[in-house]
Amino acid sequence: MLIDWFTVGAQVVNFLVLVWLLKRFLYKPILDALDSREKRIAQELAAADASKVEARSERDAFQAKNVEFDQQRAALLNQATVEAEAVRHRLLEEARQAATTLNAKRQEALRNEARNLNQVIRHRTQQEVLAIARKALADLAGTTLEAQLGEVFRRRLRELDGEAKERLGQAIRTATSPSVVRSAFDLPPDQRAAIQAALNDTFAAEIPLRFEADRDVIGGIEFAANGQKVAWSIADYADSLEERVAELLQEKGRPEEG
Partner 1 sequence: MRLTPDEIIFWQHEPFKLNATIAFTWALMLVMVVGSKLITRRLSAGLHRSRWQNFLEIIVVGIEKQIAEVGLSRPRQYLGFLGTLFLFVAFASLCTVIPGYEPPTGSLSTTAALALCVMVAVPFFGIAEQGLAAYFRSYVEPTFIMLPFNIISEISRTLALAVRLFGNMMSGAMIIAILLTITPFIFPIVMSALGLLTGMVQAYIFSILAAVYIAAATRTREPKAERAASP
Instruction: Kindly indicate which of the ranges 33-41, 69-77, 180-188, 191-199 contains the residues binding partner 1, using the contact rule CB under 8 A.
Output: 33-41
When asked if residue 16 is in the footprint of partner 1 (CB under 8 A), the reply is yes
Residue 62 contacts partner 1 per CB under 8 A:
no
Between residues 18 and 164, which has the closer beta carbon with respect to partner 1?
Answer: 18
For position 23 contacting partner 1 by CB under 8 A, the verdict is: yes
Q: Cα–Cα distance between 248 and 258 in angstroms, integer?
A: 17
Q: Tell me whether residue 31 or residue 75 sits nearer to partner 1 (CB atom).
A: 31
Identity at 188, one-letter amino acid code: P
Question: 209: burial class by Cβ within 10 Å (0-12, 13-18, 19+)?
Answer: middle
Nearer to partner 1, 26 or 102 (CB): 26
* 4 in contact with partner 1 (CB under 8 A): yes
Distances (CA, A) of 5 to 14, 15, 132, 156: 14, 15, 182, 185
| Residue-by-residue DSSP string for 42-95 | HHHHHHHHHHHHHHHHHHHHHHHHHHHHHHHHHHHHHHHHHHHHHHHHHHHHHH
Q: Which is nearer to partner 1, 28 or 167 (CB)?
A: 28
Phi-psi region of 219 (alpha: psi -120 to 50; beta: other; left: phi over 0): left
* 19 part of the interface to partner 1, by CB under 8 A: yes
Please state the closest distance from residue 47 (CB atom) to partner 1, in A: 15
- Contact between 42 and partner 1 per CB under 8 A: no
Q: Determine which residue in the list 10, 61, 91, 102 makes contact with partner 1, applying CB under 8 A.
A: 10
Footprint on this chain of partner 1 (rule: CB under 8 A):
2-12, 14-23, 25-27, 29-34, 36-37, 40
